[in-house]
Structures are given as C-alpha cells and as structure tokens.
Structure 1
Amino acid sequence: MKIGCPKEIKAQEFRVGLTPAAAREAVAHGHEVMIETGAGAGAGFTDDDYLGVGAHIVDTAEEVFAKAGMIVKVKEPQAVERKRLREGQVLFTYLHLAPDPEQTRDLLDSGVTAIAYETVTDAAGGLPLLAPMSEVAGRLAPQVGAWALQKANGGRGVLMGGVPGVGPADVVVIGGGVVGTQAARVAAGMGADVTVLDRSLPRLRYLDDVYRGVFKTRYASADATAHLITTADLVIGAVLIPGAAAPKLVTKAQLSTMKRGAVIVDVAIDQGGCFETSHATTHENPIYEVDGVVHYCVANMPGAVARTSTIALGNATMPYMLALADKGWQAACRDDAHLLAGLNTHAGKLTNYAVGRALGIDVVSPSVIVKA
C-alpha cells in the first residue's frame, strides 16, 4: 500500500502523523511511504530522518493525497484537505465529528473511509489511541492554567502552590478519567489543593485507593459542581463521552458565581467543550474572557509539546496503521472489533452512532459495512 503523511496545516499544529520509526516499520512490511517535505520539522524530525528509513519525500500535500491509498494524519482534515479526499481512500487520524457537522458532511460527500483514532477501543473498554494525547493534555492543563492565572494574563494572580503563610490555588477537575487523573496528579504536584469530580463511584474509589489523599474526590452532582466552582481558582474540564459531544456542565449563568480572574481550562473542547461559554482557540491566541473568567480552550493542546506528543501517538497508532496497510481496512476491521469501532464514515455513509445522534444523521452499522 502507498501510505501518505501530509504536513499538518491547522494553526499552531506541530505534530506529524508518522514518525520515522513508524515509517521504518511500514517500509519493512513492504509498503511505500510518502512524506510531505517538512512534515516532521515541528516535532524535530528532518526529511533526511525519513529518507534514512526508506520513505520518499514529496514536494506537496496535493501529491500525497493524490497518490496515497491511506492518509495518516494527526488532526482532522481541514477544508482544503477534505476536498482532496476520495472514495476508496482510507483516512486514519483524529476526527472529533460530533461537534463538527461541516467536516462530517464533507467526509460523507468525499466517500472516504475515515477511521478515527478517538473511537478505536480496546479489550479493557479504553480508548488506546486517545489515551496518550489525553495524558499529554491532562498534564498540560495545570501548566497552562497556572500561566493563565498570572495577573498579566488576566488571571487572579494566584500561585498554584502558594508560599509559607499563603494558601495554594484551589483547583477543581471535572472528570476522573485519563485527562482528569493526569491533571489532578500534576496540579497536586505543583502544590495546589485539588478536588476531582466524577459520576462513577468505582472510579472515585480507584482514585482514592491509588492516590491516597494526594487529591480529594467528590461525586459529580450538579449541586457539588455548582458549589465547588464558586471557590475555585482553576477549573479543568476533563469530561469525555466517546465519540459524542461533551455535556455542558457549567452554564454561562454560573460564571457570575465564580471568582473574578478565575481560570477555566476546557480540555474537552475537541468534542465541543464542557462549559457553555467555551469556544475553540489556538496556541497563537489561547485565552479569552467571559464575565471576568479567563477561558483557555485550545483545541490541540498536545501540539504545544509536539515532539513528546508525536512520539507517544506514533507508539500507539503504529500497530493499527500496519494492520490497515498489511490486510486492507476491511480485513483489518473484520479481524479486530476494536479497530472497527474507529470506523466513522465509508462511501458516503456514517458508521458511528454517537456522531449520528449528535448530528441527526442516519447511521449504518459498521459491522454491516465491513461485511459488504
């Protein structure tokens, strides 16, 4: 198979879909790998790094899309990229379709077979291709929140760990999954007073057992959430419903109950965000203010640490990329129901039920598609 990797063109996105290590593996499996020139530069990989493992360097993204049978990316295809997709081609990348009807319609119109990293599952019920970026984003959230809390950036001027005689920042993390756990660990490590909210009692028990009071846990009732945000200096939104739009857990009206200069970091913004006042921002202009509350809603947070993120993502996606290339997408998905869960569109049909519910689009079962 011809595997193509174009340079990411989303604003301030420095990751790349294929590492040289992944390219080496694909070439060893007998596949042709095409990398757009400069695609790896933001993550610290040169064209020579790819040439050295047997990949080809091509001059333009147009050539990559025109010749490759499978496109491997990081972020969802932008409008100009979606015009280059075609039926019979496989797209393997993050998609986050539920809050993005325009992208969904373009993918359906193109006929491309789109497999989304974020909906591939595993035997333990996890999301193995989302997890590494969730870990990165979770660990980044207190870091960027601490920056936004600085007075010069519009925040309250509160130091996360405080100093002797002055208390630490009060941090609330909504969601105790991968993002929330990593965010809580780092925030607590910075010295903050951290509370994690979640609706799963087994998850809360797990966090209590494993972290033994490093941070506090609370059941995520509407009442508890409403109360805790009134005292918080930093609120981190870390809620995920796989494939679906994130629930709105803090309303605009509730912002008036928060401290002036408090900070919201919405890690769920890729799925539409879990605060009513959230809208996507970029690393270039990451923050804005609503009713005195600073919002950080960068939709590709891991892109800020592009080398770490690229290598972590490449480690996770490589086996699936090789299976798709070695067997073809249909056989690979027939052999692996967890990979099949990643199928979001094929030949003009939507194949993910959570996206269909969010956007009001009829869905065809992926198991029916893969058997056709």
Structure 2
Amino acid sequence: MIIGLPKEIKNNENRVALTPSGVSELKKYGHTIYVQASAGLGSGFKDTEYEAAGATILPAIEAVYAQAEMIVKVKEPIAPEYSMIKEDQLLFTYFHFASSEELTQAMIARKAICLAYETVEKNDRSLPLLIPMSEVAGRMAPQEGAKYLEKPMQGRGILLGGVPGVKPANVLILGGGVVGTQAAKIAAGLGAHVTIMDINLTRLRELDDIMPANVDTQMSNTYNIREAIKTADLIIGAVLIPGAKAPHLITRDMLKEMRPGTVMVDVAVDQGGCIETCKPTTHEDPIFVIDEVVHYCVANMPGAVPYTSTLALTNATLPYVIQVANKGWKGACLFNEELKRGLNVVKGEVVYKGVADAWNLKVTDVNEVLAAAL
C-alpha cells in the first residue's frame, strides 16, 4: 500500500503520526511511504532519519495527498486540506466528528474512508488508540491548571500544593476514566486536595482503593457538582462518551457560584466539552475568562509535548496501521472488529451512531457498507 505522512498544520500541532522506526516496520512488509518534508521536526525527527528508514520525502503536502492510498495523521484534517482528499482515500487519524459539523459534512462530501483512532474499541470497551493521548492530556491538565492559578495568569493566586501552615488547592475532577485517573495522580502528587466524581460506583471503589489519602471519591450528580464548585480552585473536565458529544456537566449559570480566579481545564473539549462555556482554544492563545473564571480549552493538549506524545501514539497505532496496510481497509475491518468500530464515515455514508446523532444524520449499518465495498 502507498502510505502518506503529511505534516500537521493545525495551530501549534507538533506531533507526527509515525516515527522513523514506524516507517521501518512498514517497509518490512513492502509498503511505500511518502513523508512530507519536515513532518517530524516538531517531534525531534529529521527528514534524513525517515529516508534512512526507507521513506521518500516529498516537498509539499499536496504531493503527499496526491500519491497516498492511506493518509496517516494525528489530528483531523482542517479546511485547507479538504480539497486534497480524494474519493476512496483512507484517512486514519483522530477525527472527533461529534464536535465539528463542518468536518463531518466535508468528509461526507469527499467520499473518503474515515477511520477514527478515538472509536477503535476493544471488546472490553477500552479505547486503545485514545488511551495514550488521554494519559498525556490527563497528566498535563494539573500542570496547566497550576500555571493558570497564578495571579499573573488571572487565576486565584494559589499554589496547588500549598506550604506548611497553608492549605493546598482544591481540585475537582469530573470523570474517573483514563484522563481523570492520570490527572488525579499528578494533582495529588503535587500535594493538592483532590475530589474525583464519576457516575460509576464500581469505578469509584477502584479509585478509592488505589489513590493516596489526599484523593476523595464522590458520586457525580448535579447537586454534588454544584456544591463542589463553590470551593474548587481547579476544575478538570475529563468526561468521555466514545464518538459522541460530551454532556455539559457544568452549565453557564454555575459560573456565578465559583470564586473569582477559579480555573477550568476541559480536556473533553475535542468532543464538544463537558463545560458549557468552553470553546476550543490553541496553545498560542489557550485561555479566556467568563465571569472571572479562567477557561483553558486547548483541543490538542498533547501537541505541547510532541516527543513524548508521538512515541506514545506510534506505540499504540502502529500495529493497527500495519494491519490496514497489509489487508486493505476492507479486509482489516472484516478481520478485526476493533478496527471496524473505528469506521465513522465511508464513501459518503455515516456509519457511526454517535456521529449521526450529533448532527441528526442518517446512520448506515457498517456491515452493509462493508458488504457493498467488497
């Protein structure tokens, strides 16, 4: 298969979808890999390293799209890329369609095959290609929150861990999944008082067993959230419904109940956000303030630590990329149910219910689409 690796052009996105070692593994199976010049520089990988691994370097992004049967990316295509995407071309990347109707309609119109990292799902309901970036974002969230709690950053002027004789900050984490667990570890390690909320009592029991003494668990409901935000210094949104919009657990009216300088980090923003007032921001301009509450809503948080993120992502994605390259997208999805669940849009048809529900679109059975494609 001919595989294309374009440079990410989203604001301050420095990750790359394949490392030179990933290219080397694909070459073992006889695949052709075209890499856009400087695609890996942001993550610390030179063009010469890709060439040594067996890739061909192309000067422009248009050439990569024109040559490739499968495009492997990190983030969803943005508007300048839409016209480059060919009918029947496979794109394997994070899409988060439920947060962007424009992107959804563009991919339907291009009649591409859209295989989304975030909905590749194992039988135990875990999300193997989302987990590594959730781990990175979860660990970053308290770091970013701590920074924006500083007074020059418009925060309350509180040190997350406090000092002897002064209480630490209160951190509220909404969601006890991968992001929430990683966020709790870091916040607790910095010395904060942490409360994790979740609707799953079994998960809360598990967290209660493994977390240190400065982490409490609490059932998530509107009443408990409203009470907790009154004394929270840092709120981290870590809610995920695979492939669908995140629910708004903090609504616009709740901001009035928070103290001035409270910081909210919505890690769920790339799925629409679990905080109603959040909208996607960038590393270049990461925050905005509403009702004296600081909102940090960067949609590609792991892009700020691209070396770590690229290695972690390739570790997870490469086995799936190899399967798709070896068998073709149809063969791979028929062979592997996990990959089949990753199909979101196929040749103009929406085949993932969460995406269809988000934009009131017709959903087509994925098995019918696969059968018709054979």
Q: Which residue of structure 1 aligns with residue 232 of structure 2?
A: 232
3-state secondary structure, aligned to 2:125: coil
Q: Which residue of structure 2 aligns with residue 121 of structure 1?
A: 121
Q: Which residue of structure 1 aligns with residue 289 of structure 2?
A: 289
**Counterparts of residues 159-308 of structure 1 (less than 5 Å):** 159-211=159-211, 213-308=213-308
3-state secondary structure, aligned to 1:87: coil
Aligned residues: CA RMSD: 0.7
How far residue 214 of structure 1 moved from its aligned partner, in angstroms, is 4.5
3-state secondary structure, aligned to 1:250: coil
3-state secondary structure, aligned to 1:98: helix
Give unpaired runs (5+ residues) of structure 2: none
Separation (CA, whole Å) in 1 of partners of 2:323 and 2:264: 40
Q: Which residue of structure 1 aligns with residue 72 of structure 2?
A: 72
Look up the equivalent residue of 1:271 and give its one-letter code. Q
Q: Which residue of structure 1 aligns with residue 356 of structure 2?
A: 356
TM-score of the superposed pair, with normalisation by structure 1: 0.99
Give unpaired runs (5+ residues) of structure 1: none
Q: Deviation per CA, 1:212-269, whole angstroms, max 9, x where unpaired?
A: 5341100001100110011000000000000001101111111010010010000000
Q: Which residue of structure 2 aligns with residue 41 of structure 1?
A: 41
How far residue 73 of structure 1 moved from its aligned partner, in angstroms, is 0.3
Look up the equivalent residue of 1:185 and give its one-letter code. K
Q: Deviation per CA, 1:263-285, whole angstroms, max 9, x where unpaired?
A: 00000000011111101100001
Separation (CA, whole Å) in 2 of partners of 1:333 and 1:124: 18
- 2:188–2:212 CA contact under 8 A, matched in 1: no
Look up the equivalent residue of 2:361 and give its one-letter code. I
3-state secondary structure, aligned to 1:25: helix
3-state secondary structure, aligned to 1:328: helix
Q: Which residue of structure 1 aligns with residue 58 of structure 2?
A: 58
Look up the equivalent residue of 2:200 and give its one-letter code. S
Separation (CA, whole Å) in 1 of partners of 2:213 and 2:117: 33
Separation (CA, whole Å) in 1 of partners of 2:80 and 2:162: 47
3-state secondary structure, aligned to 2:250: coil
- 2:4–2:35 CA contact under 8 A, matched in 1: yes
Separation (CA, whole Å) in 2 of partners of 1:8 and 1:282: 14
How far residue 17 of structure 1 moved from its aligned partner, in angstroms, is 1.0
How far residue 211 of structure 1 moved from its aligned partner, in angstroms, is 2.1
- 2:161–2:191 CA contact under 8 A, matched in 1: yes
Q: Which residue of structure 2 aligns with residue 6 of structure 1?
A: 6
How far residue 162 of structure 1 moved from its aligned partner, in angstroms, is 0.3
Separation (CA, whole Å) in 2 of partners of 1:193 and 1:82: 46
2:107 matches 1:107: yes
Q: Deviation per CA, 1:306-329, whole angstroms, max 9, x where unpaired?
A: 000000000100011000000000
How far residue 185 of structure 1 moved from its aligned partner, in angstroms, is 0.6
- 2:70–2:89 CA contact under 8 A, matched in 1: yes
3-state secondary structure, aligned to 1:316: helix
- 2:192–2:214 CA contact under 8 A, matched in 1: no
Look up the equivalent residue of 1:371 and give its one-letter code. A
How far residue 209 of structure 1 moved from its aligned partner, in angstroms, is 1.7
Separation (CA, whole Å) in 1 of partners of 2:354 and 2:279: 21
- 2:109–2:348 CA contact under 8 A, matched in 1: yes
3-state secondary structure, aligned to 1:52: helix
Look up the equivalent residue of 2:284 and give its one-letter code. E
Q: Deviation per CA, 1:137-192, whole angstroms, max 9, x where unpaired?
A: 00000000000000000000000000010000000000000000000010000000
Equivalences, count = 372
Separation (CA, whole Å) in 2 of partners of 1:212 and 1:39: 41
Structure 1: which 4+ aligned runs deviate by more than 4 Å? none
